[in-house]
């Protein structure tokens, strides 16, 4: 308390010197990861311009949802600004935890048409498909793949691959090709070390395995619900095609992952890739700047490709977040001022340069963008095919059920894929019943 007083007193002193009227102490909450650190650095401009003091509260991904939803649900006043996960938007909007931003956008001339459509739909809208905005797209993210370009380029491996599979060893276009490559590298001896096929998401505790398996499920024809009848799950979640997709994920887990990768998410996949254990890595796009700069696997040694197509479609799991104003804040004006500052094209451009994935069209559609970084084109291609998990108020329960069912089948090897998805339909039906959706 005293610390905050001193800080705000100090900030006030600074500002009165600068001639500003009012200085607030804003706390921005987000996950603890590279982009968040970049935002700290980026926000120094805002502090200098506005006189407001920025504080940050970053929570690691695996406990991010728990901690921050706890904060929102308990009406806490820790956060003024929240870069909350895309799936929270329904709950936060319906429970009045975020401020609605439509009027503010209109007053400040911020148009959602200036942002990548998938990010507006994914991060800002609730109900989905309606022009009700609760956040400004802050960080575009999507699951994609990283591969060892240097290994792929070895002539002897290329030759062997070609004789074995009849096509070139190159970034895969389909999930079957992906599996071939993973199989090809699994247990291969490279530079005296045994390496493995692919690092994929298998984490149990938060959202890991769901964020991984959906990439495959979508492309095999899985649907969250009957497109014609909301909350009608039977035959969509657990269609035979979806079951095949889940089976594919298990076969990938069984054949082609490093030993011990039963509880892996972003961080463990990165460790495996950077330590040279795997040829392929599934991960969110946010890691690409870090991979590119890595002393061991960075630069020319790594390449990037979007999630490959499956038999029934071509999608990738959406990640990323929008920035919202928490309803409970004591400084709504300063918080909105921050969003206004953040939405400026120059700031967004700098955001991209520092490793933040801007969702602003003027940044990503700039002719120089696609070649500005080796992963820029892959990011654009991936953002064009995104699909997201439920964003319902009950999303946490829906996610937990999926985590448990899928992990139990894929990692622990219990039952069949059809049984797992049938169980998931039962769980989700119960949740929607509790929610009074039927």
414-423: Cβ within 8 A, 24+ apart: 416/243, 417/243, 417/244, 417/246, 417/247, 417/250, 418/238, 418/240, 418/243, 420/246, 421/237, 421/238, 421/242, 421/243, 421/246, 422/238
What is the enclosing helix (H) or strand (E) of 139? Answer: strand 136-139
276 binds other proteins (CB under 8 A): yes
Alpha-carbon distances, residue 299 vs 82, 113, 184, 293 (angstroms): 33, 34, 24, 6
- In angstroms, rounded to a whole number, what is the distance separating the alpha carbons of residues 385 and 117? 11
Instruction: Name which of 294, 303, 299, 302 is nearest 271 in CA terms.
Output: 294
The token duo for 136 is 């400004």
Binding flag, residue 73, other proteins (CB under 8 A): yes
The yes or no reply on residue 211 touching other proteins (CB under 8 A) is: no
Residues 255-274 that bind other proteins (CB under 8 A): 258-263, 266-272, 274
Give the single-character DSSP code of 276: T
Nearer to other proteins, 40 or 157 (CB): 40
Does the footprint of other proteins cover residue 194 (CB under 8 A)? yes
Dist. CA 48–CA 31, nearest whole Å: 24
- DSSP characters for 61-82? HHHHHHHHHHHHHTT--S-SEE
- # residues near other proteins by CB under 8 A: 72
Segment 376-405, which members bind other proteins (CB under 8 A)?
Answer: 396-397, 400, 404
Within 341-370, the residues that bind other proteins by CB under 8 A are 350, 353-355
Looking at the Cβ atoms of 117 and 290, the one nearer to other proteins is 290
| CB-CB contact of 261 with 199 (8 Å) | yes
Which residues, 292 to 321, sit near other proteins by CB under 8 A? 293-296
Q: Of 32 and 384, which has the nearer Cβ to other proteins?
A: 32
Site for other proteins in 131-190 (CB under 8 A): none
Nearest to 281 by CA among 215, 205, 230, 350: 215
Question: According to the binding rule CB under 8 A, does residue 86 interact with other proteins?
Answer: no
Cβ closer to other proteins: 36 or 175?
36
Rounded distance, CA 39 to CA 37, Å? 5
Cis before residue 127, ω within 30 degrees of 0?
yes
Work out how close the CB of 396 gets to other proteins at its nearest, in angstroms, rounded to a whole number.
6
Answer for which of 12, 67, 225, 373 binds other proteins (CB under 8 A) is: 67
Name which position in 82, 121, 135, 291 contacts other proteins (CB under 8 A).
291
Which of residues 290 and 311 has its CB atom nearest to other proteins in the complex?
290
Q: Which region among 56-64, 168-176, 234-242, 314-322 touches other proteins (by CB under 8 A)?
A: 56-64
Q: Choose one: 54-62, 161-169, 313-321, 382-390; the region binding other proteins (CB under 8 A).
A: 54-62
The footprint of other proteins on residues 223-262 (CB under 8 A) is 258-262
């Amino acid at each position: 308390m005293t610390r905050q007083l001193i800080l705000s007193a100090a900030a006030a002193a600074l500002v009165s010197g600068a001639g500003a009227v009012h200085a607030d102490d804003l706390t921005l909450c987000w996950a603890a990861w590279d982009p968040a650190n970049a935002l700290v650095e980026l926000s120094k401009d805002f502090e200098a311009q506005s006189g407001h003091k920025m504080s940050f509260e970053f929570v690691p991904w695996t406990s991010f949802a728990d901690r921050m939803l706890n904060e929102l649900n308990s009406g806490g006043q820790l956060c003024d600004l929240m870069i909350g996960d895309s799936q929270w938007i329904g709950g936060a909007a319906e429970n009045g935890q975020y401020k609605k931003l439509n009027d503010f956008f209109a007053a400040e001339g911020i148009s959602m048409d200036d942002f990548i459509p998938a990010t507006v739909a994914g991060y800002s809208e609730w109900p989905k498909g309606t022009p009700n905005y609760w956040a400004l797209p802050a960080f575009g993210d999507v699951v994609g793949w990283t591969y060892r370009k240097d290994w792929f380029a070895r002539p002897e491996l290329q030759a062997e691959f070609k004789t074995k599979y009849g096509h070139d060893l190159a970034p895969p276009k389909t999930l079957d090709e992906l599996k071939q490559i993973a199989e090809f590298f699994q247990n291969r001896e490279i530079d005296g070390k045994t390496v493995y096929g692919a690092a994929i998401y298998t984490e149990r505790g938060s959202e890991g395995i769901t964020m991984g398996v959906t990439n495959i499920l979508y492309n095999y024809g899985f649907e969250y619900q009957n497109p014609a009848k909301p909350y009608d799950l039977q035959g969509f979640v657990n269609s035979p095609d979806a079951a095949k997709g889940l089976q594919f994920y298990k076969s990938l887990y069984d054949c082609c992952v490093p030993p011990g990768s039963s509880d892996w998410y972003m961080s463990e996949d990165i460790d495996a890739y950077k330590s040279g254990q795997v040829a392929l890595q599934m991960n969110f796009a946010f890691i690409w700047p870090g991979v590119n700069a890595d002393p061991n696997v960075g630069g020319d040694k790594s390449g990037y490709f979007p999630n490959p197509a499956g038999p029934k479609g071509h999608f990738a799991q959406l990640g990323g977040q929008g920035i919202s104003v928490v309803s409970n804040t004591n400084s709504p004006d300063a918080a909105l001022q921050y969003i206004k500052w953040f939405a400026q094209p120059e700031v967004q451009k700098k955001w991209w340069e520092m490793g933040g994935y801007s969702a602003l069209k003027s940044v990503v559609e700039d002719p120089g963008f696609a070649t500005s970084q080796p992963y820029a084109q892959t990011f654009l291609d991936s953002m064009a095919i995104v699909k997201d998990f439920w964003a319902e108020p009950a999303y946490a329960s829906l996610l937990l059920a999926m985590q448990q069912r899928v992990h139990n089948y894929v990692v622990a090897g219990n039952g069949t894929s059809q049984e797992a998805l049938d169980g998931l339909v039962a769980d989700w039906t119960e949740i929607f019943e509790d929610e009074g959706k039927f």
